[in-house]
Each structure stands twice: as C-alpha cells, then as structure tokens.
Chain A
Amino acid sequence: MTRYSAFAIAREAFRQHKGWDRAWESPEPRKSYDVIIVGGGGHGLATAYHLGKNHGITNVAVLEKGWLGGGNTGRNTTIIRSNYLQDPSAALYEKSRSLYETMSQDLNYNVMFSPRGVMMLAQTEHEVRGYKRTAHANALQGVTTEWIDAKRVKELCPIMNIDGPRYPVLGALWQARAGTARHDAVAWGYARACSAMGMHIIQKCEVTGITSQDGRVTGVTTNRGDIGCKKMGIVVAGHSGALAEMAGFRLPIESVALQALVSEPIKPCMDVVVMANTVHGYMSQSDKGEMVIGGGTDGYNNYTQRGSFHHIEETVRALVETFPMISRLKMLRQWGGVVDVTGDRSPILSKTPLDGCFINCGWGTGGFKATPGSGWAMAELMAKGHSPLTDAFGLERFREGRFIDESVAAGVAH
C-alpha cells in the first residue's frame, strides 16, 4: 500500500498520476477464514480493522452483497455527536467521537472530520428541561456539552429565525466538538487499511445461509460459494432480521425507511449542524455548499430504500419556519435507507444463541457517529468474549428489562 502524503501527490504529478494503486484488493474468497464479517458498511469494516489492529486477528473476510458503503453508511447525513443521556451510551458514543478526531491520521485517509459543533434546539419548555438534564448528565460522564440560550444560538447560526410563531427557539444543547465527516471515505479508509493488513474485502458476495454444527457457527453459504469460519460477526443494519433468521433466532428490531435530501449548492451560510427535534428536522451545509436535510422515519416496515413523500414535506415545512431563507431553495436529490430500530433506540452488540456468532445492529437512525467506537467494541467482544463498552448492550437486556432508553436524546432521526 502506498502511503498518501503531500509528497506522494507531488511525485505523482510528475508521472501523470500513473503510480497510484487500488485502495484495496478484490481477491477471490478462500475456503475459510478465522473470522467472517457479514456486511461491508462502516461498522463491519471498522470491526474488521480493530480485530487486526487491536487484537492481531487478520485472517478475516468482510463479505458485502453490494458495494462498500452502499447501505446506510453511504446514505446518512453524517452527524457525529455524543451527547446521549445514559451512561453506557455516553461511553460508547464518546469513544467513537474521540476516535473520529484522529481517524484521518490513523487510517492515512482523509475522512474530512469536521468538528464544527452540533446544536439541538429546544423549542418547548419540555425540551428545555430535557436538554438541561442531558447537559448535567454529560458533565458527570465527562462529555463536554453545554446549555446555551437563544441569544447564543442566534450568534452561532445567524440564518435562524429564533422567534418563530409556533416554535420559538428557547435555547439549545451545544456540543462544540461534535460535527460531520465524509461517509464514503470512512468506509473506503477502513477497507484500505484492512486490505493492507491482508484481510479480504469481498464485494458482490451475498450471504444466503448460515451453517452450524452442534450449536456452533461453521460458515456461510453465498452466491460465490460456501465459506467456512470459526467466528462470525453479523453487521448488516436494516437486514439484521434476515440474517438472524438464517442463524435461527429473532431480534427485537423493525426495519423502516429513513430519508434525507440535499438542496442545490449555495454559498457558505451555516457552519454548524442544527437539529430541531420538536419539528422533526435537521440541517447542515456540506463542503460543496448543499444544504443536507433529514427528518423522521416512516411508521411501517419497509426494505425498499424509499420512503413516503409526505415525510419529506413535513420535514421541509418545519425547517422553513426556523430557516426562512431556505424557502426558495431547489432540492437536488432525495434518497432513503433501511434502518434497524430497537424499542429503546439503543444498539445491540452481543453474543447470540448461536455459538461463535455475534451481532452488531439496532443503530437505527443514528449509527454513523458510532462507526469507529462500534468497530472497536465489537472487535473486543469478538476477540475476548466481552467488552466493557458492549456489556450493557446485550440482546438479553430486553427480556431482563434493562433498557438503555435513548428515545429522548434521540428524539429525531440522525
């Protein structure tokens, strides 16, 4: 693997850029591996990366039915924050946010992490109390957030109308070190680093069945033949239910559509991320100048990666009140992803009833921010059998009634 650097760019400039190699190899699958990761999204690739980097396990294959990041990783609105309410969430999301800070250096791949600050607007008295509570909880957890008043909100984001007739802005929960990153680059950076460690990144390889013997996983059947393994990680987001069925268990998960859209590019007008949970909308401006907008999920099960138009309408209508200047913007593109939602809005990182088979899912509408932390924790869980970061996120928490209730902190999809 050639290292990327300013020097490499200069060198290639002198030889018509003919010296760049492929970022990752595309080998034929071997007969078997120590570990198979099903799903080549950010979380699956990050898991593979940390298996190699932290635990020295490199006889690993990542099997992806489509292309890398073609699932939710390449469809999300890239908000990264860690201002959750419950202690286990704060630990996992803050670990993740801090890994983002050095990710470009660690992977030698520019993931364009931009800690531009995220504010979550309080537009009702109830939200004011809720976010003040989160700010206090974050202080105890060592996550730096603060409650800011409406005047400060306006200073940080002048295009906002803070005295909207229906939903005046009363203040916000502000996390200055939160921000955004380039989603594809996260997947590609991990894939390149995994490939450099000798792992196999295999695209267009759909897992169609899971084989086992005496209650222990032995491998998978795929459209490219049978592949054996000693351990397996299922990391397929919206498709977790289908993979769980292959492995013989059910999940407390529903798959629904979540949509996002972007406007035509305009000059820089907003250098923070704003989320408005009461009206169900959020917005940021990409480096290309597009306004990136997202809202809430549909209410019904759906695997089609397309959602209902009226949800987009609701989101945009709500945002126009808070950002009157966007009312004349043309929207360029709109898309949807299949998100895996749990009852307590927290993920599942867990062993499963099938020995040697682990699952990482349930990130729902907000797992991009967790990509590196989730990979770190999942790798530890798979290598050692448990991890302090995943202990609270086991599958058994539902039957035991130990929910990690984040439905308040994650009131809107992001």
Chain B
Amino acid sequence: MLTLQCPYCGVQCDETELTAGGEAHLTRHGPGSDADTFEQYLFLRENPRGVHFERWRHSHGCGKWFHAARSTTTLRVFGTYKAQTTEPPQQIRDAISAVHPGWSWRNFGETA
C-alpha cells in the first residue's frame, strides 16, 4: 500500500487517508487565453512512465493539499512537499537524481 508523509502535519499517511489530485505544477491559465493554452492546461497531461509530480490531499487528516514526487514504474516515493511552490524543491530533485542519474526537471505546463 502506498504511504506518503503529509508535509503539514507530519503524519505518515496510508493511501486510504488520502485523495489523489492528479498532475502537479500545471499553469492555470485564465480568461483571454487561446485554445491551445486551455487545451494544455485542462486536458493534456505528462502521464510519464517514470517520475511523476502530483497533488494529494490529506482528506482524512488535516485536509490540506500537498505535492509528492513518485515513480509510476516502481511506485517509489522520492518525497513530499508543500503545495505553495510552482516547482519541486532542490532536495526532492536531488532525491530523484540519486536514483535516476541524468534526470532533469522538465517545464511541465509550459506552453511551447
């Protein structure tokens, strides 16, 4: 069973306490944006086979949203961090690089 540590209350939560919230670090575009931008934001997803940054809610605990970095092929968790950031913090990136040398952070949600 998947367990994640809530970065707010510090509890090691098992999956049944949590609600999955999909890909993290999307840029939320507003009115006036063009169709391409809206499509990127609303529908297109990285869905990677590998490192995934995602949102979770500690719904049966403190109720707060947080972020996690996790591998979708090994289910290994690289760490969790608070939601008030638009990019994974350095220590999370280091934890990923330790397992996947050469890995680099991609600009998810960036409209090319």
Instruction: Report A's interface with B, CB cutoff 8 A.
Output: 239, 241-242, 250-255, 298-304, 308-310, 343, 398-400
Closest chain B residue to A241, Cβ basis: B47
CA distance A253 to B73 in the complex (A): 17
- What separation, in Å, do the CA atoms of A252 and B45 have in the docked complex? 6
Interface centre among B2, B22, B42, B45 (most CB of A within 10 A): B45
The residues of B with any CB-CB pair to A shorter than 8 Å are 1-2, 15-16, 19-20, 22, 35-36, 38-40, 42-49, 52, 54, 70, 72-75
CA gap between A304 and B2 in the complex, in Å: 13
Min C-beta distance of B71 to chain A, whole Å: 9
CB-defined A-B contacts under 8 Å, sample of 16? A241-B45, A241-B48, A242-B49, A250-B40, A250-B46, A251-B44, A251-B45, A252-B45, A255-B72, A300-B2, A303-B73, A310-B1, A310-B15, A398-B39, A398-B43, A399-B38
A304 x B22 contact (CB < 8 A) = no
Q: Which residues in B have their C-beta under 8 angstroms from that of A399?
A: 35-36, 38-39, 43
Beta-carbon contact of A253 and B39 below 8 Å: no
* Given contacts A299-B19, A300-B20, A308 and B47 within 8 Å (CB-CB): no
Q: How many whole Å from A188's CB to the nearest CB in chain B?
A: 28
Q: Are the C-beta atoms of B54 and A300 separated by less than 8 Å?
A: yes
A254 to B15, CA, bound (A): 19
A255-B72, A310-B16, A343-B43 known; A301 and B2 CB under 8 Å? no
Say yes or no: A308 contacts B39, CB within 8 Å. Answer: no
Residues of A within 8 A of B70 (CB): 300
List 4 additional A-B contacts (Cβ < 8 Å) besides A255-B49, A301-B52, A301-B54: A253-B45, A303-B49, A343-B43, A399-B36
Inter-subunit contact B47/A251 (CB<8 Å): yes
Contact between chains at B45 and A250 (CB < 8 Å): yes
Query: Within the complex, which residue of B1, B35, B36, B75 is in contact with A302, where a contact is CB–CB below 8 Å?
Result: B75
A-B pairs, 5 with minimum CB distance: A299-B20, A252-B43, A241-B47, A399-B39, A300-B20
Is A308 within 8 A of B72, CB to CB? no
- CB <8 Å contact, B75 and A301: no
Contact A309 B54 (CB under 8 A): no
Could you tell me the distance in whole angstroms from the C-beta of A153 to the nearest C-beta in chain B?
32
Q: Do the beta carbons of B2 and A241 come within 8 Å of each other?
A: no
